[in-house]
Amino acid sequence: MLIFNHNFIRNRSCMGKKYQEYKQLDLTAINKEIFKYWEENNIFNQSLSLSKGSPEFIFYEGPPSANGQPGIHHVMARAIKDIFCRYKSMKGFHVARKAGWDTHGLPVELGVEKNLGITKEDIGKKISVDEYNEACKAEVMKYKDMWDNLTKQMGYWVDLDNPYITFKNEYIETLWFLIGELYNKGLLYKGYTIQPFSPAAGTGLSSHELNMPGCYRDVKDTTMVAQFKIKNSEYPNAYFLAWTTTPWTLPSNTALAVGTNIDYVWVNTFNPYSAEPIIVLLGKPLLGSFFSEEAKDLPMEYASGDKVLPYRIIKECKGKDLIGIEYEQLLPWVKPGDGAFRVIGGDFVTTDDGTGIVHIAPTFGADDDRVAKQNGVPPLALIDNEGKRQPMVDRTGKFYKIEDLDANFVKENLNIDLYSLFAGKFVKNAYDANLTEKDMSLDVEIALSLKQEGKAFKIEKQTHNYPHCWRTDKPILYYPLDSWFIRTTALKDRLIELNKTINWKPESTGTGRFGNWLENLVDWNLSRSRYWGTPLPIWRTEDGKEEICISSVEMLRNEIDKSVVKGFMNENKYASNDYNSFDLHRPYIDDVVLVSSKGEKMFRETDLIDVWFDSGAMPFAQVHYPFSCTKEELNKSFPADFIAEGVDQTRGWFFTLHAIATLVFDSVAFRNVVSNGLVLDKNGNKMSKRLGNAINPFEVIEKYGADATRWYMVSNSQPWENLKFDIDGVDEVRRKLFGTLYNTYSFFALYANIDSFAFEEAEVPFNERPEIDRWILSELNSLIEMVDASYNDYEPTKAARAIGNFIDEYLSNWYVRLCRRRFWKGEYSQDKISAYQTLYTCLEVLSQLMAPIAPFFAEKLFLDLNNISNKHKDTNNNPIGSVHFTLLPKANHTLIDKDLEERMQLAQKICSMVLSLRKRNNLKVRQPLQKIMIPASSKEFINQVEKVKELILSEVNIKEIEFLSAQNNVLVKKAKADFKSLGPKYGQKMKAIANALNSFNQEEIALIEKEGKISIDIDDNKIELLLSDVEITTQDIPGWVVMNEGSVTIALDTTITDTLRKEAISRELVNRIQNIRKEQNFDVIDYIIVEIEYNPLLEEAINEYYNYITGETLTKELSLVRKNDIEVYIGQHNTKPISTIDVIEGVELAINIRKV
RNA sequence: AGUCUCGUAGCUCAGUUGGUUAGAGCACUACACUGAUAAUGUAGGGGUCGGCGGUUCAAGUCCGCCCGAGACUACCA
């Protein structure tokens, strides 16, 4: 019996540390282990201190509000931020990352009110403002711990220990400084805007409050079409028709708006109520809503009460022809001043409903106000007895009483006879405690009054959608309210100019959404009538003639001192330098009364500042500029290199950052910005608690780990596109990406430990490494280049996909698959070392490339490798503590060989085609075959294939490749037009040429191949085609099994000779023995003894391939015996052999395998 | 209503300056492979590229209109 001596166990002396091996992949466990490691070793802080002194990469954290729970979309947003900060850190930058909390604003107030069971009215009554504010401070940090947990668990590195907090006095002081700067530049002013206002609640409402569910309701109101008499018309009795759903605004009308491109008609007809003959003007498309078609031919006779209104169109014109025409005031109660009562153009005018002519009351409509201001039309204003300009309706929702108005104004501008009939009446019955919905409304009264005068063309009840106050359930009014504005429009051009220097991802957000927003910029309304926020630091005398803008605590202190001296205040509560000793919030700040230069009292304007100003000011306020930080110091953290936030922040944080930086510092606030999209559920619906489709981020991270979650989010779609979050996708990432990489590492660790490979040997020179090593290293370096460029371009999705593709397609399914034997066969030779080094390098580089996206797994992989090899050392020569301390490897261009990459792709393609042919012809890969033939169109092609020939042959178990020259006349070829080269040349004749080429016979193809050109007839024209205009492919090789793919054709020799058959049997045998080894849980290095039941065919195979079989299976003794003997053996020993195998078709043979 | 984004296989997504068999993964079915094995390969089915019109020799790709989803802004007389 032959004893095969196998040299598997190496006697290498270095049996030191081992690469860690794992039973299975557990991402959550890795997550937790690395998290603990980071915490215990202060890895984040270390990474910051290690990079100290390096160039700064400036990042701003957009502050979240911790009064709501974090959702899965926050994981998305924070992953984006983290990825680029980690990346830049690995590019050698120092990346400070200060967390922040947005603490002011309405949601906080609402949360507090809900918790305490109070409403705004109760503030100052049931609860002191003081207590209320304390409750706000607590409320706003309600979920801070949860946020901190999520931040840490998902691996977002940000300094949570020293966050900026917007309610701190220092923070507010910087805001005051900025407001002061704006004030001094003349960019702050007081004006009014039309805002939703609830007379019942006596307060303005935000659009947020208006969008709360149930606020918009269908209500039935009296609507009317009023007639506005045209002045100086060629027709005596001509009127504009304008529709309104709020007749109570008609006394405040000061203009009519038309659409410049809308067609209008002048119509001869009658007033339906008075039967007076009139001419009316309205939009042509709306003619049908007032007149029936047949009425245009009826005699021009009409009596009040008749059903059909006869009419004649007398002329048509465009809206722009009407602009400037004056009309008589409809209800001449109040004189508005010059410029009123004429037609203006309005871009919002439609012909969807109404008359195509819009009644404009600038005091009660936002559009109205805007268009009136643009056209110099005055609003209809009253002067109250305090001398202030007011709309006709007071804050309780009623027309002003005459006694509440300025006496002079009444005398000069008010028609007392007309107005007194309506003075003091509420514009909606809901506001008047004495009225019900059944009572006649003011709308009806006005409509009837106009009807009497013959100025109503149509009065009817109509149902329409109208907003209601969510607190009182009563209708809201649009109402002019005092506001402070920042004159952003003054620097509009500069804002646009600076925006062009910002790199937006995606670009369209910057040019489109944000760019358009800037083009249509309006002044920034800063005022909010609330309690919990940054107070507006402006004090005014009661007459508004003197004012002061406080821009620092010190300035406040000094002004209070003056006031104390004057006796307006008893003490200075802001006297101390200790910022913890006072509070700049309401109500304390409201107690401050200052003294004007003329010695009068000045009171604070009660408004708060828009919370967006808080967050937009964070570049300055987070460093308490200029009080704790000089301009030079500020410049180290301003402007930001990078910010990222949801696309919904375009007009929020992105704008306010940009606006404040531009207005105050004439600078951008950020150079690069990624605006990420929404996270939707897997069906594309918005996630909400209400729908119950919200995904709990903690559960996802607990189950799949942060890495898989992050990787899924980043690789699935571009950050700025909406993500349809499907939990199965996370699992797929776990299996496909991390599972594959884990397998690859496990494979490496298994054999590296056996061989004690610790990367101690010098690197095998690149040109001494085999083709396959040079190939994967070439691909690896291409990958480095690609990934680096993608990260640098803020394209994390491209980076993630490229890495994933490399791991799966190149490393696992080609490199490792083809190289397996090199790791477990043979001596510890240069080839083997080369294999180890190559695979090690791939794994290590991958850990670095993926570190920004999958920080935990990458850390684990890196440490597992580096702790053995110590390739990356710290200053004490110990293994470096983290992959996040390393610099991203640079692509080595000398290692990139595009020819090599190309021919390996060719090899993969050929293998895939051969396997496909085998499959189709039912030929197992274990059955060796003699030959494949490949038609070769060029020398280059042959050269390329020759270099990867061995790989192909062993992979598909074939003995040889034969190239067929193009001239070979066995080949059946096919010609096809090259559209790209022929198209531009022949244009319209393309189709005919393509058809002609398709029907080329073998002779014609041979001719063009030989001559390099051919003439054909197309539509009686001779056309000369060049070989380069034609694609020629091999279609068939008669007598062979053939496959085509693109330009490559493969033919397979399917003959199975006796020798091939025997070899197949030996391979089958090896396969069975290996399976049994595994089933019996033998170690990979155990030697065995094999006994198999005798069979003549098997004997032949074994005789011929004895060395091969025993070598592959670590068999010391292989013998064929009588079946009996095996059974006898089994009886004697208590081992558990596998009883039968079927290496030859239809024959089952007994077998016994045991360890030596 | 305006601005912007998106619409490609059952699902998630690629698709170069327009160039002729529209790709990949998942899922499904069948078969294979098995010292990486809860992995992998091969094959198959599955597409009016949202719709209509236009430009062009040629459109998933460019233009216009429409439909659908979403975001933001504004809000309708």
Which pLDDT belongs to residue A509?
A: 81
Residue closest to sugar C1' of B1 by CA:
A348
- Is A461's pLDDT higher than 60? yes
Burial of A1152 per CB tally in 10 Å (0-12, 13-18, 19+): buried
User: Is A649 noted as a catalytic residue in this protein?
Assistant: yes
- Residues pairing with A93 in the sheet: none
User: Is A263 noted as a catalytic residue in this protein?
Assistant: no
Q: Which residue in the list A125, A411, A689, A980 is annotated as catalytic?
A: A689
For chain A, the average pLDDT equals: 85
Range name among A194-208, A484-498, A556-570 with the lowest pLDDT average: A194-208
**A1137 vs A166: which has the higher pLDDT:** A166
For A296-352, the pLDDT digits (tens) are: 888 888 888 788 889 999 988 888 888 889 999 999 999 888 888 999 887 778 777
For A365-411, the pLDDT digits (tens) are: 877 888 888 788 888 989 988 888 889 998 888 899 999 999 999 99
For A1010-1056, the pLDDT digits (tens) are: 777 777 777 777 777 777 778 777 777 777 888 877 778 888 888 88
> Within 7 Å: CB of A678 and strand B?
yes
Q: How far is the CA of A645 from the C1' of B4 (A)?
A: 17
Percent of chain A predicted with pLDDT > 70: 94
> Within 7 Å: CB of A446 and strand B?
no
- Is A661's pLDDT higher than 80? yes
d(CA A879, CA A802): 29
Which pLDDT belongs to residue A327?
A: 93
Range name among A99-113, A508-522, A693-707, A1093-1107 with the lowest pLDDT average: A508-522
Which pLDDT belongs to residue A603?
A: 95
The closest alpha carbon to A584, from A625, A629, A532, belongs to: A532
Q: Which residues, other chains included, contact A714 with Cβ-Cβ below 8 Å and sequence gap of 6+?
A: A79, A80, A83, A796, A797, A800, A853
**A992 vs A930: which has the higher pLDDT:** A930
User: Is A20 noted as a catalytic residue in this protein?
Assistant: no
E strand residue ranges, A703-795: 723-724
d(CA A218, CA A462): 10
> Within 7 Å: CB of A726 and strand B?
yes
Whole-model pTM? 0.85
d(CA A197, CA A217): 16
**Which 481-520 positions of A have CB less than 7 A from strand B?**
506, 508-509, 512-513, 516
Range name among A5-14, A791-800, A1081-1090 with the lowest pLDDT average: A5-14
> Within 7 Å: CB of A27 and strand B?
no
> Within 7 Å: CB of A150 and strand B?
no
User: What integer is the mean pLDDT of A172-187?
Assistant: 95
> Which nucleotide is nearest to A908 if distance is taken from CA to C1'?
B41
d(CA A155, CA A95): 16
**Which 184-243 positions of A have CB less than 7 A from strand B?**
194, 207, 210-211, 223, 242-243
CB A164 within 8 A of CB A63: yes
> Within 7 Å: CB of A724 and strand B?
yes
- Residues pairing with A958 in the sheet: A929
> Within 7 Å: CB of A691 and strand B?
no
So what's the ipTM on this one?
0.87
Q: How far is the CA of A732 from the C1' of B52 (A)?
A: 39
Q: How far is the CA of A1079 from the C1' of B25 (A)?
A: 33
Which pLDDT belongs to residue A323?
A: 87
Q: Which residue in the list A147, A266, A539, A612 is annotated as catalytic?
A: A612
Return the amino acid letter for A59: F
Which pLDDT belongs to residue A1118?
A: 84
> Which nucleotide is nearest to A368 if distance is taken from CA to C1'?
B77
**Which 904-923 positions of A have CB less than 7 A from strand B?**
912, 915-916, 919-920
- Is A637's pLDDT higher than 90? yes
> Within 7 Å: CB of A924 and strand B?
yes
User: What integer is the mean pLDDT of A438-453?
Assistant: 89
Give the DSSP letter string of A38-104: HHHHTHHHHHHHHTTTSPB--B-PPPPPTTS---HHHHHHHHHHHHHHHHHHHTT-B---EEEE---
- Rg of chain A over Cα atoms, rounded to whole angstroms, equals 42
Q: List bases in chain B with any atom under 7 Å of a protein Cβ.
A: 1, 3-6, 11-14, 19-21, 25-26, 31-43, 56-58, 69-77
> Within 7 Å: CB of A650 and strand B?
yes
* 3-state SS assignment for residue A475: strand
Predicted confidence band of residue A1 (pLDDT cuts 50, 70, 90): very low
For A535-544, the pLDDT digits (tens) are: 999 999 988 8
> Within 7 Å: CB of A551 and strand B?
no
Tokens of A84: 């680029």
Percent of chain A predicted with pLDDT > 90: 36
Tokens of A961: 């490749």
d(CA A919, CA A1041): 12
The closest alpha carbon to A802, from A783, A821, A775, belongs to: A783
A793 vs A94, A183, A674, CA distance in Å? 19, 39, 10
Return the amino acid letter for A1076: I
In chain A, the N- to C-terminal Cα span, in Å, equals 15
d(CA A592, CA A549): 13
Q: Which residues, other chains included, contact A463 with Cβ-Cβ below 8 Å and sequence gap of 6+?
A: A218, A219, A220, A221
Q: How far is the CA of A677 from the C1' of B38 (A)?
A: 35
Which pLDDT belongs to residue A1125?
A: 64
User: Is A1142 noted as a catalytic residue in this protein?
Assistant: no
- Is A97's pLDDT higher than 90? yes
> Which nucleotide is nearest to A1114 if distance is taken from CA to C1'?
B35
Q: Which residue in the list A227, A649, A908, A944 is annotated as catalytic?
A: A649
> Within 7 Å: CB of A647 and strand B?
yes
Q: How far is the CA of A492 from the C1' of B51 (A)?
A: 41
Q: Cα-flanking dihedrals φ and ψ of residue A590, to 5°?
A: -70, -20
**Which 37-56 positions of A have CB less than 7 A from strand B?**
none
- Is A881's pLDDT higher than 90? yes
Number of Cβ within a 10 Å radius of residue A630: 10
Q: How far is the CA of A449 from the C1' of B73 (A)?
A: 39
For A993-1012, the pLDDT digits (tens) are: 787 777 788 878 777 777 77
CB A607 within 8 A of CB A486: no
User: Is A686 noted as a catalytic residue in this protein?
Assistant: yes
Which pLDDT belongs to residue A280?
A: 92
Predicted confidence band of residue A1130 (pLDDT cuts 50, 70, 90): low
User: What integer is the mean pLDDT of A910-929?
Assistant: 82
Tokens of A383: 């002067």
Which pLDDT belongs to residue A11?
A: 36
CB A1093 within 8 A of CB A1151: yes
Residue closest to sugar C1' of B69 by CA:
A684
Burial of A14 per CB tally in 10 Å (0-12, 13-18, 19+): exposed
Return the amino acid letter for A1048: V
> Within 7 Å: CB of A597 and strand B?
no
Which pLDDT belongs to residue A1087?
A: 82
**Which 281-340 positions of A have CB less than 7 A from strand B?**
none
Predicted confidence band of residue A1137 (pLDDT cuts 50, 70, 90): very low
User: What integer is the mean pLDDT of A565-572?
Assistant: 94
Q: How far is the CA of A1025 from the C1' of B33 (A)?
A: 48
Which pLDDT belongs to residue A1133?
A: 53
A289 vs A311, A350, A351, A450, A451, CA distance in Å? 13, 14, 11, 21, 20
A418 vs A334, A402, A414, A415, A966, CA distance in Å? 9, 12, 9, 6, 104
> Within 7 Å: CB of A261 and strand B?
no
Predicted confidence band of residue A7 (pLDDT cuts 50, 70, 90): very low
For A592-612, the pLDDT digits (tens) are: 999 999 999 999 998 889 888
- Is A923's pLDDT higher than 50? yes
- Is A208's pLDDT higher than 70? no
Predicted confidence band of residue A214 (pLDDT cuts 50, 70, 90): low
User: What integer is the mean pLDDT of A882-888?
Assistant: 96
- Is A917's pLDDT higher than 70? yes
**A1075 vs A790: which has the higher pLDDT:** A790
Q: How far is the CA of A512 from the C1' of B4 (A)?
A: 6
Predicted confidence band of residue A1123 (pLDDT cuts 50, 70, 90): low
Q: How far is the CA of A918 from the C1' of B60 (A)?
A: 35
Predicted confidence band of residue A13 (pLDDT cuts 50, 70, 90): very low
> Which nucleotide is nearest to A511 if distance is taken from CA to C1'?
B4
Which pLDDT belongs to residue A12?
A: 39
Tokens of A827: 């001596």
∠ CA A883-A884-A887, nearest 5°, is 85
The closest alpha carbon to A44, from A107, A1, A91, A98, belongs to: A98
Q: Using the 8-state DSSP alphabet, how is residue A917 labeled? A: H
